[in-house]
């Protein structure tokens, strides 16, 4: 392996670790008195600086201008808003993790990484999904919760459900040479544990992605889908697997507890309340209130009904509320631009078997839905990674297959 390739691979490895951890410092990664996150973050930040300062030329296009504008508004407005409304530990940690991880990683992916690097990044993340699946199956490092939902290594059930959804999409769309039987078994396990997580957002997003795939490829996959549906139906009818799955974790919660009498819609009602508070803050503070201040300001105007959530569980509302309407506008335009670009590139290179664009498009759709129902800015780091991959000028495919 050449030195440059080794250097890039080490960066990709640490970048995958930072994406998974989501923090520059994580107290959960302490072993024998040493915190592994410190070493990982040091290598990541050092290599990031080397990559950034080695960039000689940047070609601007509409997508880059929107992304740069979005980042600049955040970087300029947030300190000003903190001076006005105050800065607290949660907001400071959240903002600086985003600045130190998502911003440099987005720039480096766009300007420095190539097909093999991007593919390796997602394969490493797929390996992480398998690790989380293994830990969930074995019960190792399971963090007990009062509601019975899955929490691995201190990460919440929503995060776990997203990684399970990522595993499904990666195995289905990334061009790797694996036997179809192994893929089907692994995909089935990821889907089951996405259900068991008890989080509706990831499973709903996954369902939407495959309905979209079915709609866009109706003529190609109709017969195969019909056969698959028939086989799955026979398995559920002939076995007790449906009852076995329903007894694991909080599968019932994914379906709004419709299997139980008097099913609860508490979580759905909470989402309406989060939207209502966010709209109220948008009107009262159109220029933003500063990172991490959403909960404080949301409860300030309704002290008789306090919100327990630290953020509005919607990426666009969070950005508009905390960073202002201009940041929200740039984000919306950027999301629309990448949505069209990812779809166009998927269609343009549809005959290339090595193309990463089908995976990027459906993963983008999956992450966007999650960001709208349960996401935050710091949790959307993988969303920005996918967007950055779409923005890479050189097509993400092997010329041999063109």
Segment 320-350, tens digit of pLDDT = 999 999 999 999 999 999 999 999 999 999 8
Angle between helices 200-216 and 157-173 (to 10 degrees): 20
Residues 6+ apart with CB under 8 A from 17: 40, 44
For residue range 86-134, list pLDDT tens digits in order: 999 999 999 999 999 999 999 999 999 999 999 999 999 999 999 999 9
Average pLDDT over residues 143-155: 63
Question: How confident is residue 235, by pLDDT bands cut at 50, 70 and 90?
Answer: low
Please report, for residues 7, 170, 223, 278, 312, the alpha-carbon distance to residue 101 in angstroms, rounded to integers and kept in the order given.
Answer: 18, 22, 44, 26, 22
Please report, for residues 70, 88, 200, 223, 265, the alpha-carbon distance to residue 373 in angstroms, rounded to integers and kept in the order given.
Answer: 21, 25, 9, 33, 15
Question: How confident is residue 258, by pLDDT bands cut at 50, 70 and 90?
Answer: very low
β pairing state of 30-31 and 34-35? antiparallel
Q: What is the pLDDT of residue 41?
A: 94
Distance in angstroms (rounded) separating the CA atoms of residues 86 and 81: 7
Percent of the chain with pLDDT over 70: 81
Paired residues of 152 in beta bridges: 142
In this model, does residue 6 exceed pLDDT 60? yes
Q: What is the pLDDT of residue 246?
A: 54
Question: How confident is residue 196, by pLDDT bands cut at 50, 70 and 90?
Answer: confident
Average pLDDT over residues 161-184: 89
Q: Shortest CA distance to 318 belongs to which of 385, 379, 386?
A: 379
Q: What is the pLDDT of residue 270?
A: 75
Q: What is the pLDDT of residue 255?
A: 52
In this model, does residue 147 exceed pLDDT 60? no
Longest dimension (CA), the chain: 64
In this model, does residue 231 exceed pLDDT 70? no
In this model, does residue 216 exceed pLDDT 50? yes
Worst-scoring range by mean pLDDT, 181-185, 217-221, 234-238? 234-238
Question: How confident is residue 304, by pLDDT bands cut at 50, 70 and 90?
Answer: low
Pair 206, 168: CB distance under 8 Å: yes
Q: Shortest CA distance to 163 belongs to which of 35, 40, 22?
A: 22
For residue range 364-382, list pLDDT tens digits in order: 999 999 999 888 888 899 9
Q: What is the pLDDT of residue 402?
A: 45
Question: How confident is residue 261, by pLDDT bands cut at 50, 70 and 90?
Answer: very low
């Amino acid at each position: 392996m050449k030195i440059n390739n080794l250097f890039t691979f080490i960066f990709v490895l640490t970048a995958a670790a930072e994406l998974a951890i989501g923090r520059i410092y994580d107290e959960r990664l302490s072993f024998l008195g040493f915190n592994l996150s410190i070493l990982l973050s040091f290598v990541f930040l050092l290599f990031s600086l080397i990559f950034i300062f080695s960039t000689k030329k940047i070609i601007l296009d509409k997508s880059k201008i929107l992304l740069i504008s979005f980042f600049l508004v955040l970087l300029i407005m947030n300190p000003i808003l903190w001076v006005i409304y105050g800065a607290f530990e949660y907001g400071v940690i959240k903002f600086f993790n985003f600045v130190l991880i998502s911003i440099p990683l987005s720039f480096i992916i766009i300007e420095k990484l190539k097909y093999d690097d991007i593919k390796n990044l997602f394969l490493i993340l797929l390996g992480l999904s398998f690790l989380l699946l293994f830990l969930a199956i074995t019960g190792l490092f399971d963090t007990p919760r009062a509601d019975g939902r899955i929490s691995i290594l201190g990460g919440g059930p929503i995060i776990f459900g997203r990684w399970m959804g990522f595993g499904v999409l990666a195995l289905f769309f990334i061009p790797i040479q694996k036997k179809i039987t192994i893929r089907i078994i692994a995909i089935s396990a990821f889907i089951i544990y996405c259900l068991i997580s008890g989080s509706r957002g990831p499973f709903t997003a996954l369902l939407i992605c495959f309905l979209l795939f079915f709609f866009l490829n109706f003529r190609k996959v109709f017969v195969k889908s019909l056969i698959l549906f028939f086989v799955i139906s026979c398995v559920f009818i002939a076995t007790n697997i449906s009852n076995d799955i329903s007894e694991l974790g909080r599968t019932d919660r994914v379906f709004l507890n419709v299997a139980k009498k008097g099913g609860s819609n508490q979580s759905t009602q909470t989402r309406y309340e989060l939207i209502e508070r966010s709209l109220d803050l948008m009107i009262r503070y159109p220029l933003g209130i500063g990172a991490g201040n959403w909960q404080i300001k949301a409860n300030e105007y309704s002290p008789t009904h306090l919100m327990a959530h630290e953020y509005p569980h919607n990426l666009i509302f969070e950005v508009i509320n905390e960073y202002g309407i201009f940041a929200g506008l740039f984000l919306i335009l950027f999301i629309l631009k990448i949505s069209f670009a990812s779809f166009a590139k998927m269609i343009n290179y549809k005959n290339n078997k090595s193309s990463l664009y089908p995976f990027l498009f459906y993963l983008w759709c999956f992450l966007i839905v999650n960001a709208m129902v349960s996401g935050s800015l710091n949790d959307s780091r993988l969303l920005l990674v996918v967007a950055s991959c779409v923005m890479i000028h050189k097509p993400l495919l092997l010329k041999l297959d063109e």
